[in-house]
Each structure stands twice: as structure tokens, then as C-alpha cells.
């Protein structure tokens, strides 16, 4: 009788642990997906910043060239 009670209790604990692990695994998957989204957004923003800086340099170069040609 004791053995059956211990076995049943062990099964309950194992099932509870399995459910908890499944929840944690799902949360981890969601977090990893969010990290990937953040990384891709960061790359997109960095690309935009580089384009803006490049346009600014080109604009500055254009102004410098205009000054040279006016002189």
C-alpha cells in the first residue's frame, strides 16, 4: 500500500514538473523570438542611421563643392 502511494505521489510530482518545464520552454521560445525581433529592428535602425549619416556627408560634400565652384 505504501509503495503505491509513493509511486502515485512521485507520478504527480513528475507530471507537475513536466508541466512547469513545458511552460518554461514556451516562455523561453517567446523570449528568444522577441530577442530576434529586437536584433532585426536594431539592424534596421542602424542601417537607417548609416543612410542618414551618408546623406549628411554627401550633403556636406555638395555644399563644399558649391563653395569651391563659386570661388
Distance CA 64, CA 60 (A): 6
Distance CA 37, CA 49 (A): 18
pTM for this model (two decimals): 0.55
Choice between 38 and 52, residue whose per-residue pLDDT is larger: 38
Mean pLDDT for the chain overall: 84
**Span 46-54, average pLDDT:** 88
Residue 55, domain extent: 1-70
What would the pLDDT profile of 21-47 be if each residue is shown by its tens digit?
888 888 889 999 999 999 999 999 999
Number of domains in the chain: 1
Number of residues written out for the chain: 71
**DSSP type of residue 71:** -
Amino acid at each position: 500500500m505504501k509503495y503505491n502511494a509513493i509511486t502515485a505521489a512521485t507520478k504527480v510530482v513528475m507530471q507537475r514538473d513536466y508541466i512547469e518545464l513545458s511552460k518554461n520552454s514556451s516562455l523561453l521560445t517567446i523570449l528568444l523570438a522577441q530577442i530576434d525581433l529586437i536584433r532585426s529592428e536594431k539592424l534596421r535602425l542602424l542601417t537607417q542611421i548609416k543612410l542618414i549619416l551618408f546623406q549628411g556627408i554627401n550633403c556636406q560634400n555638395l555644399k563644399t563643392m558649391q563653395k569651391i565652384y563659386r570661388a
